[in-house]
Structure 1
Amino acid sequence: MRQIDPRLRPAVMPALRRLTWSAALTSALLAATIGAARAEGRLSAKYSLTVAGVEIGRASITVDAGDTAYQVIGTGKVTGIMRAVSAGKGSAAARGAITVNKLAPQIYALSAEADGKAESVRLAMVAGTAKEVDVEPPIKPLPDRVEVTETHLANIMDPVSGAFVYVPGTADLLSAAACDRSIPIFDGRQRYDVSLTFLRIEQVKAGKTYAGPAVVCRAGYTPVAGHRPTRSTVKYMMENKEMYVWLVPIAGTRLLAPFRVSIATMIGTATLEATSFEAEAKDKAVPISAPKP
């Protein structure tokens, strides 16, 4: 068995809490907002998260997208030898509208538990602006933290919705049109931009479930608010030139989903990659239900 680098735990756990798709919508929230939707496409995918070639987590997502609405539900947990030093699991969900030109997220919820510590975020958005923000535990006020103001809460995407790319019109999904954009993300604690630039088209494969082309984008990270500029990890990510995402279309929709994400870290390359990727076009009403806690 491969031994995990002893430096792995303190460096990986903060990122793992964000990467494991660890959140769930509450029953009351779901009852008020989620019903049945006419889906044009559905995606069921499973992912493996590795750092320096060592598996530390697994995740799964389900996406239902219609002509006017979408929903994403995901779950994740710590796996492999990482379980010997840490524990973590959870689920995530986002829901919103599909307009002529873009995704318009409406609800985002996250609830994570790692090493016995719980974390939750809930956002309610209207016309791209976060109107309600509920974060537990509360954000600690620190002298070097850039304050998040009301201005920063406008024109935002939640992290789950922001992971998917919508290409409007009739442009080729597998083209530079998928990458040439900047995505304004607010995760409840931080506001940052993820910029994508087109690199190439590449063939990818996930077992017997998918084999085909993906559009490859280079990603960049620019913090806006909520971050601490003095932290070495913030500076490292701002200067990081080795961040990439592979995007694959969801059949029956104008959406592209992440097939692979690769990020250089101080302890090795972190890779989130699909091990199963099943997308199909639909033409019937499909139920949209809550993720299991």
Structure 2
Amino acid sequence: MIDAASVLSHARLVATVLALAPLALALGVDAARADGRMVAKYSLSVAGVEFGRGTFVVQASDSAYEISGTARITGLMRAVANGKGRAAARGALAGGRMVPRVYAMDAEADGKEESARIVMAAGAVKEMDVEPELKFYPDRVPVTDAVLKSVLDPVSGAFVYMAGTADMLSAAACQRVIPVFDGRQRYDIALTFQRIEQVKVEGYSGPAVVCGARYKPVAGHRPSRYTVKYMQDNKDVYAWLVPIAGTRLMAPFRVSVATMIGTAVLEAEAMEMQAVDGTLSVSAPKP
């Protein structure tokens, strides 16, 4: 049986996760040619109860991308937790992979504010400003320069780039390990192919590639923490990916994660996509 304290604690955890999720902040950047654009609205629920809502705005060409959006706690959960967040990333599509250049995040969960600014070059972290600073604990695995090479920020890491001309709706979409650094933790998300499934939502109807996902901490974590052990052993994490029209990027349609109080589901409620001929100009909605 789950007591009220456990529900409250977990609600706050989900609030923090939602606020830190890759659902975003607009960045002032030089314009670049855009071949595809998507505006997607998502809802987050845990055990069938709505926790929050968010929006992605994505634009990409054959050589660059920008991703932006917002997220906030909604529904009954606002009575026990409060959270909202903005984050964004921009970068290049080169050498068959996503190469982030700038990542920014601002979040507030239960009155506590957090922010991160990361500048990268050739996939390696060059500059970083994270508030508040990560607390020292003797058992925390140190984050070294050696593990901050060939990494993606969490916004970029939420998408899959399919280089070349191969079929995007294939097992190849899941045949990868996503190396992520969020300013505090360095971890890998290992994807494995499960199946192709038909999905339907306002703006998109068609196949989705379903991937299994495993969390593998690398640095910045505390191995003794129960939540770290739980997620490391969690085999019930899945992601449904769909292609963004006019691009070689695949977006999350649904993400399902087993938690201690039920399954958490981030799911698209609308996905407006279009192939375009213009410039990248991402404008995030207000949180």
TM-score category of the 2 structures, normalised to the smaller one: over 0.9
CA distance in structure 1 between the aligned counterparts of 2:112 and 2:24, rounded to whole angstroms: 14
Residues 1:45 and 2:51 aligned together: no
> Aligned residue for 1:157?
152
Q: Of the candidates 98, 101, 109, which is equivalent to residue 106 of structure 1?
A: 101
Taking only aligned residues, the RMSD between alpha carbons, in angstroms, comes to: 1.6
> Aligned residue for 2:12?
13
Q: Aligned pair in 2 of structure 1 residues 264, 89: CA closer, same or farther (>3 Å)?
A: same
Kindly provide the amino acid, as one letter, of the partner of residue 13 in structure 2. Answer: P
Q: Of the candidates 140, 148, 156, which is equivalent to residue 135 of structure 2?
A: 140
Report if the CA contact (8 A) 1:242-1:263 is conserved.
yes
More deviation, 228-237/84-93: 84-93
> Aligned residue for 2:241?
247
Aligned residues: 283
Kindly provide the amino acid, as one letter, of the partner of residue 17 in structure 1. Answer: T
Give 1:283 shift. Answer: 1.5
Residues 1:202 and 2:197 aligned together: yes
CA deviations over 1:222-247 (Å, ceiling 9, x no partner): 00000000011111111111000000
SS of 2:135's equivalent in the other structure is: coil
Residues 1:118 and 2:118 aligned together: no
> Aligned residue for 2:171?
176
- Give the 5 Å matches for 1:269-280: 269-280=263-274
CA distance in structure 2 between the aligned counterparts of 1:200 and 1:173, rounded to whole angstroms: 13
CA distance in structure 2 between the aligned counterparts of 1:19 and 1:177, rounded to whole angstroms: 28
Contiguous gaps of at least 5 residues in structure 2: none
CA deviations over 1:59-98 (Å, ceiling 9, x no partner): 0010000111100001010001001112211211100001
SS of 1:7's equivalent in the other structure is: helix
SS of 1:19's equivalent in the other structure is: helix
Q: Aligned pair in 2 of structure 1 residues 290, 204: CA closer, same or farther (>3 Å)?
A: closer
Q: Aligned pair in 2 of structure 1 residues 92, 128: CA closer, same or farther (>3 Å)?
A: same
Kindly provide the amino acid, as one letter, of the partner of residue 58 in structure 1. Answer: R
Q: Of the candidates 204, 209, 214, which is equivalent to residue 220 of structure 1?
A: 214
Kindly provide the amino acid, as one letter, of the partner of residue 227 in structure 1. Answer: H
Q: What percentage of residue pairs aligned between the two structures are identical? A: 60
Give 1:123 shift. Answer: 0.6
Report if the CA contact (8 A) 1:23-1:112 is conserved.
no
Give 1:287 shift. Answer: 2.5
Q: Aligned pair in 2 of structure 1 residues 83, 150: CA closer, same or farther (>3 Å)?
A: same
Report if the CA contact (8 A) 2:18-2:73 is conserved.
no
CA distance in structure 1 between the aligned counterparts of 2:224 and 2:129, rounded to whole angstroms: 26
Give 1:37 shift. Answer: 1.8
> Aligned residue for 2:226?
232
Kindly provide the amino acid, as one letter, of the partner of residue 103 in structure 1. Answer: M
> Aligned residue for 1:95?
90
SS of 2:117's equivalent in the other structure is: strand
Report if the CA contact (8 A) 1:36-1:288 is conserved.
no
